[in-house]
């Protein structure tokens, strides 16, 4: 049904999972949640907290204005099976920082509006794994996090030096980080931390201090991911910054290794991990998959390549040669960061499966600039321009992270179907799973 006004959108049900509790009690898309156990539901955190019981009383308003009071008996952790039009049941908190390294500030004009929205919302950290700086948070929300035990929270730390953090985030509240994190730790809130490392700014002795301070909060601070700064070519009017040189990346990895040894002895975990890009920048071999323990920071690009390679090699090693198949030719597009890795993968594939041909092309990022090397920031227009002369007679393979999650659209709003039509070829989106990748062919 169509929802026509802002009031009806508030707490409005968009989808009911078939055979769920909500489906069984007659809740339908277009119904509006009024309260649970007599308490008005202001956001998704309150909703999650209030439904965590074996017996709840749900008040719903139907599309015709009729109100239904529904008694629900369920297991303590069972979900009702409702998706709301607004996932947060309220507005996302806008980031008030002016971070020196903010990627959103480095976007060119003319992209879709949602890409320019900078959130800094603890609810999105809990629900989606977004990182938050904890600078755009009021006392009421801090108390709610503690009261409702919202955990885990992903924290963008960058540095624990108060003066330096204020400088990096350009927010006077940024220096209050450690006391707030200690408060969360005392309340049993688990935190994962991220550090965007900038050469000559928060590395070296500043990084020593940051890791030491966060280690003192272990086990509440579960792990730290350190990733290099990403710089696009669209930085007019922004602070002059630069990326890591090979020698600096190597020096950082040596520093990190010492901390990992100390933490392993102290906590039985390496605790702090580097993004894959650091190893490639330093021209060092990537660690084996077991180095990354439980792969806690995959979404940050920490251990992603090693995990993929391990899965791929396990599938390759267990492969039994099959009867001859029809010849197939593929063009595999990737970011420049993964070019060497995927060349080796393609070579093994063709040795194991002689009926296929896999040509790897590293798409240079003209849209954001050549310093951006990951496939997740490739645009449809760059892919089209650089594969059009090579793809004839081949099937184009693209990594899944070139598309918006859940939608077949690239960062520059080009649709996947439009790229297929312009190239006049089949395009297959490949999951970031080495086992499935090998078995696809």
47: domain CATH number is 2.30.42.10
The DSSP-derived string for 341-396 is: HHHHHHHHHHHH-TTEEEEEEEE--TTT-TT---GGG--HHHHHHHHTTT-TTSEE
Of the candidates 262, 259, 263, 309, the one whose C-alpha atom is nearest the C-alpha of residue 286 is: 309
Count how many domains the chain has: 3
CB 12 within 8 Å of CB 31: yes
In terms of domains, do 79 and 108 share one?
Answer: no
Same domain for 120 and 38, yes or no, is no
Residues 218 and 268 in one domain: yes
Cα 131 from Cα 227, distance rounded (Å): 13
Quick one: 198 and 287 in the same domain?
yes
Q: CB 232: neighbour CB atoms within 10 A? A: 19
Whether 98 is covered by a domain: the verdict is no
Residues 229 and 256 reside in one and the same domain: yes
The pLDDT of residue 126 is 47
- Kindly state whether residue 312 falls inside one of the protein's structural domains: no
255 & 402 share domain:
no
- Tell me, yes or no, whether 63 and 138 share the same domain: no
Instruction: Tell me, yes or no, whether 369 lies in a domain.
Output: yes
Q: Specify the pairing of strand 221-228 against strand 191-197.
A: parallel
Residue at 210 is within a domain: yes
Do residue 129 and residue 262 come from a single domain? yes
What is the domain extent for residue 356? 320-440
Residues 30 and 159 occupy one common structural domain: no
Q: Report yes or no on 332 lying in a domain.
A: yes
- Asked if 228 and 254 sit in the same domain, the reply is yes
Return the number of other C-beta atoms located less than 10 Å from residue 319's C-beta: 13
Whether 187 contacts 149, CB under 8 Å: yes
CATH number of 140's domain = 3.80.30.10
Instruction: Name the 3-class secondary structure at 97.
Output: coil
Measured between alpha carbons, how far apart are the two ends of the chain, in Å? 43
Q: Clarify whether residues 135 and 244 are in a common domain.
A: yes
User: Quick check: is 376 in a domain?
Assistant: yes
Structure tokens at 206: 């500043």
Pull the structure tokens for residue 179. 């006391």
The per-residue pLDDT for 91 is 52
pLDDT score for 41: 82
The domain that holds 374 is classified in CATH as 3.40.50
Q: Is residue 308 part of a domain?
A: no
* Structural contact between residues 418 and 380, judged by C-beta atoms closer than 8 angstroms: yes
Residue 166 shares a structural domain with residue 38: no
What are the pLDDT tens digits along the chain (441 aa)? 333 444 446 688 888 899 999 999 999 998 889 888 998 887 777 788 888 888 999 999 998 889 999 999 988 878 898 888 766 555 555 567 788 888 888 888 767 666 655 555 445 444 445 778 888 888 888 888 888 787 888 899 999 999 999 999 999 999 999 999 999 999 999 999 999 999 999 999 999 999 999 999 999 999 999 999 999 999 888 899 999 999 999 999 999 999 999 999 999 999 999 999 999 999 999 999 999 998 888 778 899 999 999 999 999 999 987 776 788 999 999 999 999 999 999 999 999 999 999 999 999 999 999 989 999 999 999 999 999 999 999 999 999 999 987 789 999 989 999 999 999 999 999 999 999 999 999
C-alpha triplet 136, 9, 84: angle, nearest 5°: 75
C-beta atoms surrounding 145 within 10 Å: 23
Q: What per-residue confidence (pLDDT) applies to 147?
A: 84
- Cα Rg of the chain, angstroms: 24
411 within domain boundaries:
yes
């Amino acid at each position: 049904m169509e929802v026509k006004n802002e009031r009806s959108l508030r707490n409005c049900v968009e989808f009911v999972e078939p055979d769920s509790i909500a489906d069984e009690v007659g809740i339908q898309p277009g119904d509006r949640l009024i309260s649970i156990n007599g308490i008005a539901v202001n956001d998704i955190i309150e909703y999650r907290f209030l439904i965590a019981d074996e017996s709840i009383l749900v008040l719903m308003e139907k599309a015709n204005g009729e109100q239904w009071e529904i008694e629900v008996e369920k297991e303590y952790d069972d979900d009702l099976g409702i998706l709301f039009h607004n996932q947060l049941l309220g507005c996302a908190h806008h980031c008030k920082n002016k971070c020196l390294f903010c990627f959103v500030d480095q976007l060119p004009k003319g992209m879709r509006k949602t890409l320019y929205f900078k959130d800094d919302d603890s609810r999105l950290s809990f629900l989606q794994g977004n990182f938050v700086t904890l600078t755009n948070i009021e006392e009421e929300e801090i108390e709610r996090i503690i009261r409702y035990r919202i955990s885990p929270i992903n924290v963008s730390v960058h540095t624990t030096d108060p003066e330096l953090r204020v400088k990096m985030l350009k927010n006077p509240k940024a220096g209050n980080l450690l006391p707030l994190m200690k408060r969360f730790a005392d309340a049993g809130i688990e935190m994962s931390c991220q550090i965007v490392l900038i050469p000559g700014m928060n590395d070296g002795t500043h990084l020593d201090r940051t890791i030491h301070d966060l280690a003192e909060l272990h086990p509440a601070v579960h792990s730290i991911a350190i990733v290099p700064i990403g710089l696009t070519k669209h930085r007019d009017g922004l602070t002059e910054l630069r990326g890591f040189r090979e020698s600096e990346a190597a020096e950082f990895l040596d520093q990190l290794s010492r901390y990992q040894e100390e933490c392993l002895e102290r906590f039985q975990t390496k605790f702090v991990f580097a993004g894959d890009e650091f190893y490639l920048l330093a021209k060092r071999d990537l660690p084996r998959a077991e180095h990354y323990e439980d792969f806690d920071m995959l979404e940050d690009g920490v251990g992603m390549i090693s995990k993929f390679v391990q899965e791929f090699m396990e599938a390759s090693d267990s492969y039994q040669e099959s009867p001859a198949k029809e010849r197939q030719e593929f063009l595999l597009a990737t970011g420049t960061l993964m070019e060497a890795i995927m060349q080796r993968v393609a070579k093994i594939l063709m040795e194991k499966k002689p009926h296929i041909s896999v040509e790897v092309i590293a798409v240079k990022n003209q849209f954001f600039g050549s310093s951006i090397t990951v496939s997740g920031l490739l645009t449809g227009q760059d892919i089209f321009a650089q594969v059009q002369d090579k793809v004839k007679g081949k099937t184009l393979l693209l990594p899944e992270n070139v598309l918006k999650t859940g939608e077949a659209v690239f960062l520059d709003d080009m649709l996947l179907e439009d790229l297929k039509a312009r190239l006049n070829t089949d395009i297959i989106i490949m999951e970031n799973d080495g086992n499935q990748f090998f078995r696809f062919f």
